[in-house]
């Protein structure tokens, strides 16, 4: 049922939900002024106000002032409640709060419960100073020898200074990305392709980290690097096969070098040992020859002195020693007798081996001592006796 429709069809005394009597012949909405007036009256009634008894005009003015005061009171209560709520804040253990006072930096608050002046102090940002954040870069760059290399780099960092991180730079992460790319391009542009792909990657990584940290300190962004890694360096896909062949050839070269070095390590000690042994043998032979020559010289000097004193005795002794050396080195002696037709044969090997004295049936002359000692071990007197026997045998045969 509509508000302007009478429940009984023609009851003009019924009121709408706003308390207005229905007007005859008008089916439109109620008057807005009347609605606002009724709302003010109800608020005054709830807040203890109302129309004063007396004149109608004075009562209306008092009601309007009371309603404005009530609204102002409500707004004041709401304002005080919001100010009390906004003045208290907390900071987590891993965070630092940057406080601005009238738009300028005031302080950095540590973890805990804090109070700020409402509408004057403002929390610009709560910076997490313990979180390790990461940044990843993948770029194609030109090396110092004018080759293109694709580099993938990851950077781990943290906001060490909350004030600088929040206020000095508008976008610290973007500044870090630009600085990291600039540092990487500078270092890669100073290196060769071989260094970037193989042995020089570690040095490039250290150089990029140092340069990037210097940039961040210069920009004063409050960022401290935790770790920087060059994860991958590779040539462009179009020439990947050629670079694989180069790497394979380099590995083969290194393998052959290692094998040659191992062979050299095996051969050189043996050759050095043989050379040292030959040097030592040559030195020993030299010392031996020098010692023999010295001994022979000393012996000749001694013989010369003895010969000067007793020439006959020395001559006979030298003769006997010579005969002893001759007999010691031969097994047979053939003696040509002057004026005879036969040649005398002396089997010296039998003389060395027989142990009994006397003369054998074959005409062998035995040792005068009658012992079976070897001729090599005979003394000078025994050799002299043996020589005399040989000479007598020669004279006997010559006489016959």
Q: pLDDT 10s digit of each residue in the chain, 400 long?
A: 444 444 444 444 445 544 545 444 445 555 666 766 776 676 666 655 544 444 444 444 555 555 676 777 778 778 877 777 778 888 888 888 888 888 888 888 888 888 888 888 888 888 888 889 999 999 888 888 888 889 999 999 999 898 899 888 888 999 999 999 999 999 999 998 888 887 888 899 999 999 999 999 999 899 999 999 998 888 877 777 887 887 789 889 999 999 999 999 999 999 999 999 999 999 999 999 999 999 989 988 888 888 888 888 888 888 888 877 777 776 666 666 566 555 555 565 565 565 444 444 344 443 333 334 444 555 667 666 777 777 777 777 667 6
In this predicted structure, what is the pLDDT of residue 31?
Answer: 64
In a domain, 248, yes or no: no
Q: Are residues 95 and 170 in the same domain?
A: no
10 Å CB burial of residue 294 (0-12, 13-18, 19+) is: exposed
CB burial string 129-165: b at 16+ within 10 A, e below: beeeeeeeeeeebebeeebebebebebebbbbbbbbb
209 within a domain of the structure (yes/no): yes
Residue 284 lies in a domain: no
User: Is 256 within a domain?
Assistant: no
Are residues 141 and 225 located together in one domain of the fold?
yes
Q: How far apart are CA 193 and CA 197, in angstroms?
A: 6
In a domain, 168, yes or no: yes
Phi, psi of 277 (to 5 degrees): -65, -40
Q: What element of type H or E holds 268?
A: helix 240-309
Are 51 and 97 contained in the same domain?
no
Question: Is residue 337 in a domain?
Answer: yes
Q: Are residues 143 and 195 in the same domain?
A: yes
- In a shared domain, residues 139 and 213: yes
The rounded distance, in Å, linking the Cα atoms of 134 and 142 is 25
Residue 131 phi/psi, 5-degree rounding, is -70, 130
Does residue 164 share a domain with residue 77? no
- Single out the residue in 235, 253, 284 at which a domain terminates: 235
To the nearest 10°, report the CA torsion of 294, 295, 296, 300: 100
Residues 108 and 68 in one domain: no
Alpha carbon separation from 67 to 39, 43, 80 (Å, rounded): 10, 7, 20
Same domain for 227 and 171: yes
Residues 137 and 225 in one domain: yes
Pair 62, 149 in one domain: no
Please identify, among 201, 220, 235, the residue that sits at the C-terminal boundary of a domain: 235
**Number of other residues whose CB lies within 10 A of the CB of residue 386:** 22
Residue 11, domain member (yes or no): yes
Please indicate, yes or no, whether residues 161 and 215 belong to a single structural domain of this protein: yes
Q: Which domain holds residue 115?
A: 89-128
- Taking the C-alpha atoms of residue 291 and residue 295, their distance in angstroms, rounded to an integer, is 6
Of 83, 117, 150, which marks where a domain is finished?
Answer: 83
Domain count, the chain: 5
**In this structure, what CATH number is given to the domain that contains residue 156?**
3.30.479.30
Of 390, 385, 376, 268, the C-alpha closest to 329 is 376
What pLDDT, on a 0 to 100 scale, did the predictor assign at position 215? 93
Q: Quick check: 221 and 180 in contact, CB under 8 A? A: no
Q: What is the pTM of this model?
A: 0.46
Is residue 288 one of the residues assigned to a domain?
A: no
Output the furthest CA–CA distance in the chain (Å, rounded).
Answer: 207
Note whether 151 and 231 are same-domain residues: yes
């Amino acid at each position: 049922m509509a508000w302007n429709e009478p429940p009984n069809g023609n009851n003009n005394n019924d009121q709408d939900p706003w308390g207005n009597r229905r007007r005859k012949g008008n089916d439109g909405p109620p008057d807005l002024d009347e609605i606002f007036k009724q709302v003010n009256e109800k608020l005054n009634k709830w807040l203890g106000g109302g129309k004063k008894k007396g004149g109608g005009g004075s009562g209306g003015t008092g009601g309007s002032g009371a309603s404005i005061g009530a609204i102002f009171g409500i707004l004041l209560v709401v304002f005080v409640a919001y100010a009390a709520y906004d003045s208290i804040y907390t900071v987590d253990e891993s965070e630092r709060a940057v406080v601005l006072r009238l738009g300028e930096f005031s302080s950095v608050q540590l973890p805990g419960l804090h109070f700020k002046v409402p509408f004057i102090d403002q929390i610009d940002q709560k910076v997490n100073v313990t979180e390790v954040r990461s940044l990843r870069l993948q770029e194609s760059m030109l090396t110092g020898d004018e080759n293109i290399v694709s580099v993938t780099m990851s950077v781990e960092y943290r906001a060490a200074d909350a004030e600088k991180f929040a206020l000095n730079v508008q976008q610290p992460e973007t500044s870090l990305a630009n600085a990291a790319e600039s540092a990487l391009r500078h270092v890669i542009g100073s290196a060769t392709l071989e260094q970037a792909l193989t042995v020089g990657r570690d040095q490039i990584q250290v150089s990029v980290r140092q340069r990037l940290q210097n940039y961040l300190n210069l920009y004063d962004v409050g960022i401290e690097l935790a770790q920087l890694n060059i994860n991958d360096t590779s040539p462009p896909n179009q020439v990947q096969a050629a670079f694989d062949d180069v790497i394979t050839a380099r590995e083969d070269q290194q393998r052959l070098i290692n094998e040659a070095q191992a062979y050299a390590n095996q051969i050189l000690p043996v050759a050095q040992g043989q050379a040292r042994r030959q040097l030592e043998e040559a030195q020993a032979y030299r010392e031996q020859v020098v010692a023999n020559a010295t001994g022979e010289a000393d012996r000749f000097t001694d013989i010369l002195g003895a010969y000067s004193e007793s020439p006959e005795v020395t001559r006979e002794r030298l003769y006997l020693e010579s005969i002893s050396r001759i007999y010691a080195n031969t097994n047979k002696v053939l003696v040509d007798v002057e004026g005879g037709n036969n040649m005398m044969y002396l089997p010296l090997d039998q003389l060395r081996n027989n142990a009994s004295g006397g003369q054998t049936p074959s005409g062998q002359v035995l040792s005068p001592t009658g012992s079976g000692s070897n001729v090599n071990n005979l003394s000078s007197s025994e050799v002299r006796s043996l020589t005399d026997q040989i000479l007598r045998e020669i004279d006997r045969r010559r006489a016959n």
